[in-house]
Amino acid sequence: MLVDSHCHLDRLKCDDLDAALDQARARGVSAMLCVCISAENKSAVLDIASRHSDVYASVGVHPSDTTESVVSVAELKRWAQSPDVVAIGETGLDYYYTKDTSAQQLESFRNHLLAAGELKLPVIVHTRDARGDTIDSIKRFGSKDSAGVLHCFTESWEMAREALDLDYYISLSGIVTFKNAEDLRDVARKVPLDRLLVETDSPYLAPVPFRGKPNEPRYVREVAEFVAELRGLSFEALAEVTTRNFYTLFARAQNRS
């Protein structure tokens, strides 16, 4: 059993979503979390999750999709009423591409953290070039009841350690397999096993040997195999622990199952 803890199934570059899901299942992927990034794609995400018992959904607004009209706490809570929703996000801060909207991003991130705390749902956090503000926002507005995951982690071990101290999980994507990712591999070796997740972030960031091609949930196996080798574990052991971690963090998924 293996879980793709973060993917964007509504954006897969394939003609047949059902076939892509079957290919993932054939490689041992027992569940997938389809992540929402905006009000515009929320319906598509929820529809996919409602049609597939092994696909769960999140609701939220990606920092790069944040506009002057910031999503409210009340609106996020309404979005999360579907039984298929297991998390709030993805949300967070991205100062690499969209620093000019940092004020709106901070307000949006705060609202996601507050909504998650009220709902007792975990938060899926995107962070890029915003280490200090990300950790500060989690400390100020987050809740122990809604501690979540720093997804597609590419930051330093120091940031990972701060997040772990706040009860967050660290999720690794195909980036960990890239030639220039030695610092990230160091993080991958250090994260406690009971706080580790794996993901594809598909259709982006396909792992080696598929780098440069559209990513799919089935390639989470390559991520897991690579991380297992880094940690000196069997693939089966790594798959088992990350699957257990997924259902521990996203408890509503376990209840729905």
pTM of the predicted model as reported, rounded to 2 decimal places: 0.96
Is the pLDDT at 67 greater than 90? The verdict is no
Is the pLDDT at 257 greater than 60? The verdict is no
Which tops the pLDDT comparison, 51 or 98? 51
Domain architecture of the chain: domains with CATH: 2-256 (3.20.20.140)
Give CA–CA dist 40/43, Å, rounded: 7
Give CA–CA dist 100/116, Å, rounded: 26
What would the pLDDT profile of 187-203 be if each residue is shown by its tens digit?
999 999 999 999 999 99
DSSP string of 5-25, one letter each residue: EEE-GGG--SS-HHHHHHHHH
Query: Exposed e or buried b for every residue in 143-171, given b needs 16+ CB within 10 A?
Result: beebbbbbbbbbbebebbebbbeebbbbb
Which contiguous run of DSSP H or E holds residue 96? none
Give CA–CA dist 3/249, Å, rounded: 12
Neighbour tally for 213: CB within 10 Å: 11
What would the pLDDT profile of 132-147 be if each residue is shown by its tens digit?
999 999 999 999 889 9
Residue count of the chain, please give it: 257
DSSP string of 111-157, one letter each residue: HHHHHHHHHT--EEEEEES-HHHHHHHHHHH--GGG--EE-S--S-H
Angle in degrees, 0-180, between the axes of helices 182-190 and 220-231, rounded to the nearest 10:
70
Given pLDDT bands bounded at 50, 70 and 90, which one contains residue 57?
very high
What would the pLDDT profile of 4-20 be if each residue is shown by its tens digit?
999 999 999 777 899 99
Predicted local distance difference test score (pLDDT) of residue 69: 85
What would the pLDDT profile of 94-134 be if each residue is shown by its tens digit?
999 888 899 999 999 999 999 999 999 999 999 999 999 99
Is the pLDDT at 256 greater than 70? The verdict is no
* Cis peptide bond N-terminal to 203, omega within 30: yes
Is the pLDDT at 159 greater than 60? The verdict is yes
- Mean pLDDT score across all residues of the chain: 96
Predicted local distance difference test score (pLDDT) of residue 98: 82
Give CA–CA dist 254/257, Å, rounded: 5
Which tops the pLDDT comparison, 109 or 65? 109
Residue 87's beta-bridge partner residues? 58
